Each structure stands twice: as structure tokens, then as C-alpha cells.
Chain A
């Protein structure tokens, strides 16, 4: 099947996702809302790309468009060289909410991914157990979602997005509903998972810190209508430890992004004392 296709060669140079001049307009009773306005960018194979921006800048719309779950008003998106015209299957998606099935155990929620594809869940069982173990959920495989904490549920959702080993991972504010400590741990976990798998990742977030910590590149969006404000290459050695956040290089990247938000009025700092 498609997602089992040979791993794209020369990942570091190839444009795995190409977004060309995408505009998306939503009709509403109060008139048209322009969520995205002429967006173009690429995600290179094996790259971790974050998109940061204020609420309503069309970040989530972008995920829906790349996944083929929504059509753009104009423009073209291509994934792995093929134009996106219907729901893409060679990817894994993680949303802000875990969206697990309440009657399925953690393990069976992970296996939903393969069952829905018509594959034999039995053959993926060991891999699912291993994935759950790798995110610290061993011993919780049989628990139902309501017996798990928010962070655990989100880990299950991440395992579900990885079980079929997709080349592309789309994450739409995956840590948005979690507490600060859990977010830190999840950030580390995601770094580990992505480093191991050589995945191409598009990561949507509000958090400047998360974006800088995880990414090879960060795209900063403007408020609605969403346009690309600037793109920042994050050149910090990997693997990154939590302490890197206190380094001056990290602070410089974070400041660069924050300054864009200040310039656009997304953030308004207090006046400097006289």
C-alpha cells in the first residue's frame, strides 16, 4: 500500500510537502472569512517544521488541507510529488484532543489505525505494545480512555498516528490541552520518536518555546488572514535537552519570533519604564 512505499531517497533535499499559493475562504453568515491568504512553503523530507501563530491564523486549516480532508479555495498542495485531491492515507495525524474511542482499550485504540486500513491487527500487536512502552504506557495497555490521564490519552493518540509507520506526521497543537510538566515530557518524547523514525513532521503550536525546541525550521504566521510572516532556521545541535532552553542561542531564536508577534500586534508588551 501507499504508505509502505520505499522511503523517499535523499530526504534532506527533497520537498516532501509542497504548499503553493494556498488560499482558503470560509463562507459565514457575516460574509466570507479569509483563513489563509496565498501561503507557500515546503516541508523537506525528514524535516521537523513548526508553524507558530495566533489563534485564528488558519494553522489548523493548513493541516486539514495537507491531509486532503478539506479543499483549498485556490492553490495546489502536493505530498511526495502527488497533488492532494482526496484524504491522504500515508500519514499520521494528532489533534489537540486525543479523540479516542471510549470502548476501546489503549492498545485497541492504537490498533484502530490498522483495522480501519483493513490490515490484520494481530500482526501489529507487538509493534503497538512496543510503541506504548516507548511513551511510558507499559502496564496501561488494557485501560480504557476514561481511566487514563489527559497526557496518557494524548500519548495513545500519538502511538495511533505512528503504528503504520507513516512518512509524514501532522500534529495540530497536540499538547494544547496538557499541563506544563506533561508538555515538557511530551516534547522530549516527540523529539525521540521523530529522531528514531526519520519522519517528516509538520507541527502546529502556539508555543514559541515548543516550536524552537523541536524544529529544524519555524514558520511564523500573521493574524488572520494567515500569511507567512517569516521563516526561521533553528540551528541547535540534536538531541536537544531541556536545558537548551536556557541557552543564549535558544533565547535569540525565541526573541526573534516574539519580536515578529510584537511587530504584528499579536503580543503587546508593557511600556518601557522612563
Chain B
């Protein structure tokens, strides 16, 4: 990236955001919108500053749920994808069910999970897992199958067995796709954790949001939403940074939609 494109890639969204915030503030001011309906950005900022300890505690709770759910999705998703790719029988046995399972709304089974897994962290982790493992499987399968057939011909002419081909060729080739899946999955894991907290929780940002709404503390509700959005962005950026470290050969010559670290 040249300095010029880096400048515009950061500046444009920042300017847009600033303009939106100013417009928001002016509209609230101009029409004297009651604070419980729509608080001004400055009000939200004040609430955030005043309640930072409270927000931090609930952010930590939700972060734990997201990370555990996401980790579980990775630990289940990638090996499942490897199994699907390595055995046509397993593929026939698993794949259609997996796809079908995706038409079941996760939100609909969340109450059942509470019923089965009790209250506490576990059911939220499970919802986060259920909602995020699918893209990991799909993208990993696509990646593992993306190796050029000629590369596999060469590998066989080198006398390599399937294991060595997997370690040296298939898996590294799949990493770009795997990371694409991980990025989608980590944002979905955030959604999953909040959905879980909406169903039943006594802590976490989803809980904080519901509590604030219940007492018409809209400022605090907005503050929770902003923290939540920031949390999602941070999770995404962490995956992005790991990707850049792990597969610079891919990152350096793809065109990126997302503004990442230079």
C-alpha cells in the first residue's frame, strides 16, 4: 500500500463516521428528542465514562464466551473439514446433515440449550459455537480441495504419501480459505454469545443491554452496543493480524476489503 492509499483508506471512513455523529447530535438537539428515545452521542459518551467499570466487567464475561465458543468451533470445524475431504464415505455421511442443520435457526434452539446445559457460561459458549462453526467447515473444505491437480500429480511422482502431501501441500494451501472462514466465524461468535445472553443471563453485555432497556436507560444501552461493536472489530482484527503473520505470502498480494494493520 502506498502512503497515499493508506491515508485515504483510513480517512474516508473516519470522516463519514464523524459527520454521522455530528448529524446525530444536531438532530437530537434541534428536535429536542427525549433522551430515553434517542440520547445524543455526547450523552452516550458520558454514560460510557461514568459506567466504565460496570461495562468492563460485562465485556470480560462476554469476551470469555466468544473466545470459548470460537475456539470450540475451530477445534471441531477444522478436523471435521479434514475428515470430509479425506473420506468420500464420511463426506456423504456428514455433509448433507451439516448443510441441513444450518437451516435450523440457532436462536430457536438456544432456549433448549439453556434447558440442557443449565445457566452460566456453557450455554452461551454453545450458541456461539453452533452459530460459528459452519463457515469454518465450508471454507476449510473448499481450501483443502483448492490444490491444483498438477501439484498433486507432482507430489505423487515425488513418492509422497497422503500424510506428507497433507502436511506440506494441502493444509498450507488451504490456509487462506481457512482464515476467510475464521473471520466470518469470529463475528458470528459475537452474535452467538449475545443471543445466548438474551435468552438467559445474569451477566455479560447482552444482559447489560437488556437491563438498561428495562429501566429506559437508553444511554447505557447505546454504550453497551458500542462496546459490543468494538469487541467484534477487535476480534476480527486479531484474526486478521494472525493471518498476516502466518500467511504473508497470501496477504501481500491479495486485494483487501478491510482496512487492516499496514
Give every chain A residue within 8 A of B247 (Cβ-Cβ): 103
B69-113 contacts to A (CB < 8 Å): none
If the complex has contacts A103-B172, A112-B168, are A117 and B153 also in contact, measured as CB distance less than 8 A?
A: no
Q: Which of B42-50, B134-142, B155-163, B185-193 faces chain A?
A: B155-163
CB pair B157–A87 under 8 Å, yes or no, is: yes
Chain A residues lying within 8 Å of B156, measured Cβ to Cβ, are: 69, 87
Please tell me if A101 contacts chain B, counting CB pairs below 8 Å: yes
Whether A67 contacts B160 by the Cβ 8 Å rule is no
Within the complex, which residue of B148, B160, B173, B249 is in contact with A117, where a contact is CB–CB below 8 Å? B160
Q: Which of A133-161 touch B at CB < 8 Å? A: 144, 146, 160
Q: Min CB distance, A261 to chain B, in Å?
A: 27
Interface residues on B, range: 20 to 34
Given A89-B157, A112-B158, A116-B159: A99 and B172 within 8 A (CB)?
Answer: no
A113 to B153, Cβ gap below 8 A? no
| Residues on A with beta carbons closer than 8 Å to the beta carbon of B173 | 101
Question: How distant is the Cα of A102 from the Cα of B173 in the complex, in angstroms?
Answer: 8
Name the contact of B158 in the complex, choosing from A64, A113, A146 (C-beta under 8 A).
A113
Q: Are A95 and B150 in contact (CB under 8 A)?
A: yes
Residue of A nearest to B164 (CB): A116
Chain A CB within 8 A of B151 CB: yes
Give A97 Cβ to nearest chain B Cβ, in Å: 7
- Asked if B6 is an interface residue, CB under 8 A from chain A, the answer is no
- Considering the chains assembled together, what is the distance between the CA atoms of A113 and B164 in angstroms? 12
In the bound complex, residues from chain A placing their C-beta under 8 Å from that of B151 are 99, 101
CB of A67 within 8 A of CB of B153, answer yes
Q: Which residues of A contact B169 (CB under 8 A)?
A: 101
Tell whether A88 is near chain B: CB-to-CB under 8 Å.
yes
A93 close to B (CB within 8 Å)? yes
Query: Which A residue sits closest to B175, measured CB to CB?
Result: A103
A102 to B154, CA, bound (A): 15
The interface of chain B, by Cβ under 8 A from chain A, is 148, 150-151, 153-160, 164-165, 168-169, 172-173, 247, 249-250, 252-253
In the assembly, what is the distance between CA of A122 and CA of B203, in Å?
56
Q: Give every chain B residue within 8 A of A117 (Cβ-Cβ).
A: 158-160
Tell me whether A115 is interfacial, beta carbon within 8 Å. Answer: yes
Chain B residues near A116: list those with CB within 8 A. Answer: 155, 158-160, 164-165, 168
Residues 72-124 (chain A) with a chain B CB within 8 angstroms: 87-89, 91-93, 95, 97, 99, 101-103, 112-113, 115-118
7 A–B contact pairs at CB < 8 A?
A69-B156, A87-B159, A92-B157, A93-B153, A101-B169, A116-B158, A116-B165
Q: Bound complex: CA of A260 vs CA of B164, how far in Å?
A: 46
How near does chain A come to B239, taking the closest CB pair, in angstroms? 19
Contact of A69 among B148, B157, B172 (CB under 8 A): B157
- Most chain B CB inside 10 Å of its own CB: which residue of A97, A116, A144: A116
Residues in A neighbouring B165, C-beta threshold 8 A: 116
A93 proximity list for chain B (CB < 8 A):
153-154, 157
Neighbouring A residues of B155 by C-beta, 8 Å? 116
Expressed in whole angstroms, the minimum distance between the Cβ of B78 and any Cβ of chain A is 18
B139 to chain A, nearest CB (A): 18
A67, B150: Cα distance in complex, Å: 12
User: In the bound complex, what is the Cα–Cα distance between A160 and B158 (angstroms)?
Assistant: 10
Closest CB in chain A relative to B247 CB, distance in Å: 7
Residues of B within 8 A of A99 (CB): 148, 150-151, 154
In the complex, chain A residues whose CB is within 8 Å of the CB of B157? 67, 69, 87-89, 91-93
Once the chains are docked, how many angstroms separate the CA of A91 from the CA of B168? 20
